[in-house]
Amino acid sequence: MPLRKPSEFFNDKKPKSSLDLVKEELDSAAPEKIERISEVFDAFKTNVNHLQKLSDFTNSFDTFSSNVDKINSLYEGVENLKIEIQNFIKKEDLDDVLMAQIFFIEQSIRDVQERIKSINSETLSEIKEEIVILPK
């Protein structure tokens, strides 16, 4: 080991960080080198953007895939409901219910007609009585 000068022991220089080294190199670099670094950095940024777009596409594709799965599950549920409804309600049952409603409506119409006839006949009777009472 070589002997050191006493001034070397009292040197306050801090070890340079990598950032300091890059700054020094950038300051002392030729313009061509700076342009090349700039081009490399631009290419790096472009590649990072491409990776981000690819990541976004992957995320949206995963979301799309999960939505397709949800739609398929919903479709299966609708199909099951359709089968249950078809088994639950038969055409004969619907015909029977429809006929019962028609009979009920016909009966209601007859009742209303009878009430109207009775009201009309009462009104006519009252009118006849009033006419008879009126002096001639």
pLDDT in tens, 32-76: 666 677 788 888 888 888 888 888 888 888 888 888 889 999 999
Q: How many domains does the chain have?
A: 2
This prediction has a pTM of: 0.32
Q: Label residues 43-55 b or e (16+ Cβ within 10 Å = b).
A: eeeeeeeeeeeee
Same domain, 59 and 102: no
> By residue range, what is the domain housing residue 135?
90-136
Same domain, 31 and 45: yes
